[in-house]
Amino acid sequence: MGHSALGRELSVVSWNVHWGVAYVPDRPKGELFDPLAQLDDALLRATDVIVLPESWRAHDGSSFLDGLRAHGFEHLYETRYRTLDVSHLRRQLTDPGEGWWELAVASRHPVVSSIELPLQRSYQDPVPIRNARSIRILVEGQEVDVTAFHVSSKLWFGAPIVQLRSLARLLREHDLDGTNRPAIIAGDGNLWRTWIPVVLPGWSMTAKGRTFPSWKPHSQIDHICYRGAVEMIDAAVLPYSPTSDHRAIRARLQLR
């Protein structure tokens, strides 16, 4: 968190980390990695909120998410999606599985409130109840709503369109849409940038650049958007890491 001549700044990073299991051609598939070790220390120090779709917590309680506290992210929220096995070349949806597929969001600022938002069910979504997670953080006396999301990849069934439209509706219904305080949404939309104004009307986009697949990206499907009393300072797609099949994105925002 920083200051400018205009006021407070907020930095957000979003990265689909593929459960901490490598899925790129130049590394053995199925090899485990620590997502936090892949992010530059300076980047982590400068980040206020981090969103990690496809996070992972084993049934024994262990997770790379526990390392967030060492980087100053004192407030961690995990939303469970379903159980799966990750000790294979490709993840397997099983019950009870080896652990939980999660959506995680962490903040170094105090959290005033938190709510899960149940997205509309889409055809053949492997996640029975797919929730977004919204946290209201307190940034030097100013409340800011940050919502993390990860929608289904079943594009051929229109799942991203259905679920992102339902997210827009839920944000309005729960006063999380920037009407009364700055609002930011971040995560894996599984939908091209050109479609975002259609499914999330009124939201402004930040980072512009291809994010998937990470080693030779052809599409941007990961997004950080904002609405209300907030403006973008700068944003970027982060360099390739031979780990996840997504590239991370970051945005630096000005609170008004």
Work out the burial of residue 158: count CB atoms within 10 Å of its CB; fewer than 13 is exposed, 13-18 middle, 19 or more buried: middle
29 secondary structure, DSSP code: T
Report helix, strand or coil for 23. Answer: coil
Please report, in angstroms and rounded to a whole number, the separation of the first and last CA atoms in the chain. Answer: 14
pLDDT score for 5: 40
CB 85 within 8 A of CB 94: yes
pLDDT score for 7: 59
Task: State which amino acid sits at residue 31.
Answer: E
Contacts of 207 (CB under 8 A, 6+ apart): 220, 222, 223, 224, 235, 236, 237, 249, 250, 251
The pLDDT profile of the chain, 256 residues, written as one tens digit per residue, is 554 444 599 999 999 999 999 999 999 988 999 999 999 999 999 999 999 999 999 999 999 999 999 999 999 999 999 999 998 777 889 999 999 999 999 999 999 999 999 999 998 899 999 999 999 999 999 999 999 999 999 987 899 999 999 999 999 999 999 999 999 999 999 999 999 999 999 999 999 999 999 999 999 999 999 999 999 999 999 999 999 999 999 999 999 9
98 secondary structure, DSSP code: S
CATH number for position 85: 3.60.10.10
Residue in the block written with tokens 């970051």: 250
Its pTM stands at: 0.96
pLDDT score for 2: 54
Domain count, the chain: 1
Residue 90 belongs to what domain range? 2-255
